[in-house]
Structure 1
Amino acid sequence: MADNNIYQFKISLKNIKPKIWRRIQLPGNFTFADLHEAMQHYMGWSDCHLHEFKVKNPITGTKDTIGVPDEDRFGFGLMPEVIPEENIKIARYFVFAKDKATYLYDFGDGWYHDIVLEKIIAPEEDVSYPRCVTGKRACPPEDCGGYAGYEDLLEIIANPQHKEYKSKMEWLAEVYATPFDPEKFDLNSVN
């Protein structure tokens, strides 16, 4: 029954003000691997780093780690058992509005995201899912050094007199097809 429904999530990047966030909708029959792919696309990441989800198991009440099992990975817990993300449907863990999870992308830079289920709705006719319905601000560039590196980057690109301004702007031009604007979110381009 839940597999026919659409799950609407608000995904917010933690520790950055003003918030960088997206509201996405996807089918309940999607797996955590599908949720990961949707988040990568709609947040603006390029899926070149490890990731994992931490989510409360609705049956046991314990936190489960869902991701890509790898005996060499460490995650952000104490070596937890990792449940394979391609085997677990999101509807199994997200049961009620306000159910939450944490998503970590890039164990080096440590981009933590809050995921909150806002509501479960019926699918709309003639709408393709998954989709992003709204959001705010551009995602930080990959490999910019986590939260502190991103703050430094914003400070540098806001000051053309800064000694690193030219090199950072050249780097951003290599990464992005259009000039990087940290305040811009273009719904049409993500959909």
Structure 2
Amino acid sequence: MGSSARPRIRHGEGHVAVLRLEVLDLRQPIWRRVLVSMRASLLELHGIIQHSLGQDPTDEHHFEVDGVRYVDPGVADHPRRATDQTSIATLAPGPGTRILHLAATESEPWRHVVTVEQVGPRLVGQRVPLCLDGGGAAPPDDCDGPRRYTALLDALAAPFDPRAAELREWLPEHFDPAYVDLNAVNAQLGRLPKHRPAA
């Protein structure tokens, strides 16, 4: 009789998590599902969120979990509360954990909710971070905050709005608010430091 044993799965170092990133305060949802290393710091997670959603990774930021705030290292008054000193695994050890992330802009902050959907061992050669799925296009550059983006979409949806033609000239060519280019998102994530495949 032939062997029915399953091939052995090789695990790398540490664990990975599947996170759902969702932009708050919008009528039209924008979200991404990403695979990340549980060893990543919150500062690294900030970069992953910003690149996944087409936003500026240099924006000042903070995270909130269970009423505790973890802040941008540049403004932290206590090193334990700095985002470069805290890992995802520390704050989100298992599925169901929700983390609030805020990124400042010149007008109003973008707010994102991060939900841990799955946690498991990291496979050898597994690429992280990696965007697995998503919905809704990233807001255009210099679209600071959800109210401006909502006003932009409202103007584009109104054919007789005098602002619509001007706004279309400002938008990227063929901008579609429902389209997500996962290849482009992953190209951005691939430029981030660390998160290399486990040996």
Shorter-normalised TM-score: what interval?
Answer: 0.7 to 0.9
Once the two structures are TM-superposed, the CA of residue 112 in structure 1 deviates from its matched residue by 0.8
Aligned-residue CA RMSD (Å):
2.2
Any stretches of 5+ residues in structure 2 without a counterpart? 1-12, 187-199
CA pair 170-32 structure 1, distance change in 2 beyond 3 A: same
Q: Please list the CA deviations of residues 87-116 of structure 1 after superposition, one character each: whole Å capped at 9, or x if unmatched.
A: 111111111211111001125322111111
Say yes or no: does 1:68 pair with 2:73.
yes
Please, which of 27, 32, 46 is the counterpart of residue 36 of structure 1? 46
Residues 124 and 41 from structure 1, CA distance in 2 versus in 1: closer, same or farther, beyond 3 angstroms? same
Q: State the AA in 1 paired with 2:99.
A: A
- Indicate the residue corresponding to 2:181 in structure 1: 186
The question of whether the paired residues in 2 share the 8 Å contact of 1:10 and 1:116 is answered with yes
1:37-70 per-position Cα deviation (integer Å, ceiling 9, x unaligned): 11111111122432111113xxxxx523332342
Counterpart for residue 147 of structure 2: 148
Q: 1:64 and 1:152 mapped to 2: Cα distance?
A: 30
SS in 1 for 2:31: strand
Q: Which amino acid aligns with 2:127?
A: S
Question: For the residues of structure 2 that align with 1:48 and 1:27, how far apart are their CA atoms?
Answer: 21
Q: Which amino acid aligns with 2:114?
A: I
Shift of residue 81, structure 1, vs aligned partner:
6.0
Question: 3-state DSSP class of the match of 1:151?
Answer: helix
Name the counterpart of 1:19. 29
Q: Residue 181 of structure 1 aligns to which amino acid in structure 2?
A: D
Q: How many residues get paired?
A: 172
Structure 1: distance between partners of 2:74 and 2:22: 25
CA contact (8 A) 2:27 2:150 kept: no
Which structure: larger Rg?
Answer: 2
CA distance in 2, matches of 1:149, 1:50: 19
Q: Give ranges in structure 1 of 5+ residues lacking alignment.
A: 57-61, 72-79
**How far 1:163 moved relative to its partner?**
1.1
- 1:11-160 to structure 2, matched below 5 A, reads 11-56=21-66, 62-70=67-75, 83-107=81-105, 108-160=107-159
| TM, length-normalised to structure 1 | 0.80
Q: Is the 8 A contact 2:137 2:179 kept in 1?
A: yes
Decide whether the 8 Å contact of 1:14 with 1:112 is kept in 2.
yes
Look up the equivalent residue of 1:12 and give its one-letter code. Answer: E
Work out the CA distance in 2 between the residues paired with 1:44 and 1:97.
26
Question: Which residue identity does 2:54 align to in structure 1?
Answer: G
Q: CA deviation at 1:20?
A: 0.9
Runs of 4+ in 1 over 6 A off after TM superposition: none
